[in-house]
Amino acid sequence: MPWWRGRPVCCPGDDRLKAAVIGAGTMGRGIAQVFAQSGHDVVLTDMNQEVLPSALKNIWDSLERLRKKSLIEEEPSQVLTRIRTVKQIDEIGQNDIYIEAIFEKLNAKMDLFRIIDRIAPKSSIIASNTSSISINLLSTTVKAPGRFIGMHFFNPVPVMKLVEIIKAERTEQSTVESVVAIARGLGKEPVTSKDFPGFISNRILMPILKEAMLCLQEGVSTAQEIDRTAKLGLNHPMGPLELSDFIGLDVVMDIMEVLYTEFGEERFKPPIILRNMVNSGMLGRKSGIGFYRYGEE
Ligand code: 3HC
């Protein structure tokens, strides 16, 4: 049995895990960072090789912010020595844990897990960072579903404390315990959830975001006033429209679609305003325009 099964990961530099992160977008780069920050060796890849240099730059910037506030002791360049990028999925090699963090499309994830399953050693854990797709369904792609699990991080990963851990029907208890221990070792607070659509977090969040969008769609108030209400009246760190832009409107729509399909309930149906924005390429911060404009004074 691998050493980390069922007991907490220790200190950086001690009992290092080998972690593979597949997908170097916002979430994947954040996940790679927190593993490396905690002393683990990381291999990071993405089907679009061109994003790898910007992922490393972004990780360096984030580490520098943390170092300036004395939240980490190591120099960013030192932490980065533990992150290796590879251009092809076949090159990720043998690891203790594989974490998928690609876009929210079922078939793409299923295909990827079949590849990971061919590469991964028998003792390794295979995890998905999916926001809403069924972990049970994804687990059918691997030979040993007992070591398949959901490990859902939050954006920005280096700052957000929570990791939602999702147990599928066939996930072994030892896998849950290992992933709880690994999450704690990353300095995170794990919560466990059954495999229900949206798990806990997005089942709560999506109706909030949807109602805010409907307030805007129905002309109840402006985007700024809706967000100010949530920030000043409800003490949310970001307003729901600002948060939607931050997550990515395409991602929000994908999550709502999964919840709507699975529960069949109107409360999760993506509102027209969101569909129209996504269809016209207004994806939030990453596209420069969403409910707000970015990159302008
Ligand atoms: N790396 C390192 N540090 C970072 C960082 C990063 N990527 N992003 C922010 N920080 C730090 C800043 O340096 C700052 O530290 P300080 O307070 O000690 O100076 C602190 O975090 C706050 O950042 P800012 O001052 O830049 O800005 P804010 O005060 O507005 O905070 C925020 C930014 C942490 C993103 C805050 O607005 C927030 O918590 N927003 C809500 C985020 C949220 O809800 N995330 C979950 C989204 S849902 C999700 O991810 C699930 C998925 O399935 C959809």
What domains can you pick out in the chain, each with its CATH number? 3-194 (3.40.50.720), 203-287 (1.10.1040.10)
Say if ligand 1 is within 6 A of residue 58 CB: no
CA of 125 from ligand 1 middle (Å) equals: 29
Say if ligand 1 is within 6 A of residue 200 CB: no
- Paired residues of 83 in beta bridges: 42
Pocket test of ligand 1: the residue of 68, 100, 159, 193 to mutate, having most ligand atoms within 8 Å of its CB, is 159
- Paired residues of 85 in beta bridges: 44
Q: Please give the pLDDT value at position 170.
A: 97
Instruction: For residue range 96-121, list pLDDT tens digits in order.
Output: 999 999 998 999 999 999 999 999 99
- In this structure, the residue with its CA closest to atom 44 of ligand 1 is 243
Distance CA 88, CA 268 (A): 37
pLDDT, greater one: 257 or 4: 257
Scanning the structure block, which residue is given the tokens 């129209």? 276
How far apart, in Å, are the Cα atoms of 7 and each of 189, 205, 257, 294?
15, 32, 37, 44
Distance CA 63, CA 245 (A): 24
Whether 164 contacts 150, CB under 8 Å: yes
Q: Which two tokens stand for residue 283?
A: 């994806």
**Cβ-proximal residues to 36 (8 Å cutoff; 6+ apart), any chain:** 42, 59, 79, 80, 82, 83
- Give SS3 for 272: helix
- In this structure, the residue with its CA closest to atom 39 of ligand 1 is 237
Is the pLDDT confidence value at 8 over 50?
A: no
Distance CA 69, CA 281 (A): 37
Instruction: For residue range 237-294, list pLDDT tens digits in order.
Output: 999 999 999 999 999 999 999 999 999 999 999 999 999 999 999 999 999 999 999 9
Is the pLDDT confidence value at 3 over 90?
A: no
Q: What's the rounded mean pLDDT across residues 7-28? A: 75
Distance CA 19, CA 210 (A): 35
Say if ligand 1 is within 6 A of residue 284 CB: no
Q: Please give the pLDDT value at position 11.
A: 37
- Give SS3 for 95: coil
- In this structure, the residue with its CA closest to atom 34 of ligand 1 is 159
The fraction of the chain above a pLDDT of 90, given in percent, is 93
Please give the number of the atom of ligand 1 that sits closest to the Cα of 156: 7
CA of 156 from ligand 1 middle (Å) equals: 6
Q: What's the rounded mean pLDDT across residues 184-212? A: 97
Active-site residue 131, yes or no? yes
Say if ligand 1 is within 6 A of residue 131 CB: yes
Scanning the structure block, which residue is given the tokens 């090159």? 91
Please give the number of the atom of ligand 1 that sits closest to the Cα of 71: 18
- For the chain, how far is it from start to end, CA to CA, in angstroms? 56
Scanning the structure block, which residue is given the tokens 């490990």? 151
Is the pLDDT confidence value at 186 over 80?
A: yes
Instruction: For residue range 117-170, list pLDDT tens digits in order.
Output: 999 999 999 999 999 999 999 999 999 999 999 999 999 999 999 999 999 999
How far apart, in Å, are the Cα atoms of 214 and each of 20, 180, 251, 268?
40, 37, 18, 12
Distance CA 101, CA 205 (A): 20
- Catalytic-role residue among 124, 131, 139, 244: 131
- Paired residues of 152 in beta bridges: 164
Please give the number of the atom of ligand 1 that sits closest to the Cα of 33: 1
- Catalytic-role residue among 129, 136, 178, 202: 202
Pocket test of ligand 1: the residue of 238, 250, 253 to mutate, having most ligand atoms within 8 Å of its CB, is 238
pLDDT tier, 15 (very low <50, low <70, confident <90, very high otherwise): confident
What value does the mean pLDDT of the chain take? Answer: 94
pLDDT, greater one: 104 or 4: 104
Task: Supply angle C-alpha 64, 293, 276, rounded to 5.
Answer: 120
How far apart, in Å, are the Cα atoms of 32 and each of 63, 151, 154, 197, 201?
12, 13, 13, 26, 22
CA dihedral of residues 195, 201, 204, 206 (deg, nearest 10): -100
**Cβ-proximal residues to 13 (8 Å cutoff; 6+ apart), any chain:** 39
The amino acid sitting at 64 is E
Say if ligand 1 is within 6 A of residue 8 CB: no
